[in-house]
Structure 1
Amino acid sequence: MFRKLALGALVILGTAFSQRAQAQYNNWAAGFRIGEPAGVNIRKYFGDNKAFDLNIGTYGGLYGNKRDYRRGVYRSVGLTVQGNYIWHNRLFGKDELRGYYGIGGQINSRRYYPQRLQAINEYESGFSLGGSAVAGAEYFVPNKPYSVFIETGLYVEVLPAPLFLNVQSGVGLRYNF
């Protein structure tokens, strides 16, 4: 019974919101991102060309979960929180197509397997902190409350491994409300 009521409410909300204007970039948006980082994506739009983008999820799955790191490797998918302040503008004179770029920060948890512990296959858990940069494009489906995006970026670690670089990219879907 509850499932039918929830499905009915979603259909009614979807129908009500489907008549909105073409580009829904002055409000909140929530969705998911597949890539690195992968997970939940939340965006708050400010005015005509600014936004804050938050990704909460995992990293290490897209480009492989075994990578050289400091004096050892990390061999697992980790957790990450990434936030970027972004600027966005129309592309090709179209309100529904926006290009964006931004900078921010990222914190990660990871399992680090240092060389000194390789013989016993032990690891250390820890956090890392660094800066991030992103650039992408977002398409707002005309007369629908959702958008799709594709982006790429870079993570530059500050602690504990200064200048450790990691390319990041992803695609996703956001519901704009």
Structure 2
Amino acid sequence: MRTHHLPVIGLLAILLSLSHTASAQYTNWAFGFRIGEPSGVNIRKYFGDNHAFDLNIGTYGGLYGNVRDYRSGKYKTVGLSIQGHYLWHDRLFANENFRGYYGFGGQINSRRYYPDRFAATNDYESGIALGGSAVAGAEYFVPGKQYSIFAELGVYAEVLPAPLFLNVSSGVGIRFNL
């Protein structure tokens, strides 16, 4: 295990050990971690009974591989991603602690692109990519605890610089509900 993961694991262990009473707290702020595409920090703000805004800040390229065909070249590295979605959510199976959600938003990526024309020298171009994204998932609010766990699946459709470049986004994670 890499030592730079230890602070994250320690913080996660502390959050999980807290025993404050909490029911399905979907009208507050939540902060957590997401493993997937993108992986990183997750922040969610719940609005009323069935709306939320979700923000992921982290890396992409680690889960599905960091070498991918793109335009007339390849990606060969992990990049930075900021993803935001406006969500609609509601209870599932008549259980207030188990909620399904879906939403739409956008994504900004910073990537290293290795065009075929630079293959002899292995040079790259750095750039920003913008696109739209959609997500659907489920979240379980653990009874008697202030955390929830979630799993989701989505799609990213790039607009600039490679229109209609598609990428699957998925993730699992945990959020501490404030």
Report the TM-score when normalising by structure 2.
0.90
After TM superposition, which residue ranges in structure 1, 4 or more long, deviate above 6 angstroms?
none
What SS class does the counterpart of residue 83 from structure 1 fall into? strand
> What per-residue deviation string (whole Å, max 9, x for no partner) do you get for residues 114-170 of structure 1?
010011000000000000100000000001100000000000000000000000100
Q: Between Structure 1 and Structure 2, whose CA radius of gyration is higher?
A: 1
Partner residue in 2 for 1:136: 137
1:140-155 alignment runs, 5 A limit: 140-155=141-156
Structure 2 matches for 1:153-168, cutoff 5 A?
A: 153-168=154-169
Give the aligned length.
165
Per-residue CA deviations over 1:46-85 (Å, capped at 9, x if unaligned) read: 0000000000000000000000000000110000000000
Structure 2, unmatched stretches of 5+, are 1-10
Q: How does 1:90-109 map to 2 (within 5 A)?
A: 90-109=91-110
What is the alpha-carbon root mean square deviation over aligned residues?
1.5
Could you tell me which residue of structure 1 aligns to residue 21 of structure 2?
A: 19
Alpha-carbon distance in 2 for matches of 1:68, 1:14: 44
Give the corresponding residue for 1:3.
none
Taking the aligned partners of 2:150 and 2:93, their CA distance within structure 1 comes to: 16
Aligned-pair identity in percent equals: 72
Query: Structure 1, unaligned stretches of length 5 or more?
Result: 1-6
Residue equivalent to 1:82: 83
Give the Cα–Cα distance (whole angstroms) in 1 for the partners of residues 51 and 40 of structure 2. Answer: 22
Tell me the amino acid that sits aligned with residue 59 of structure 1. Y
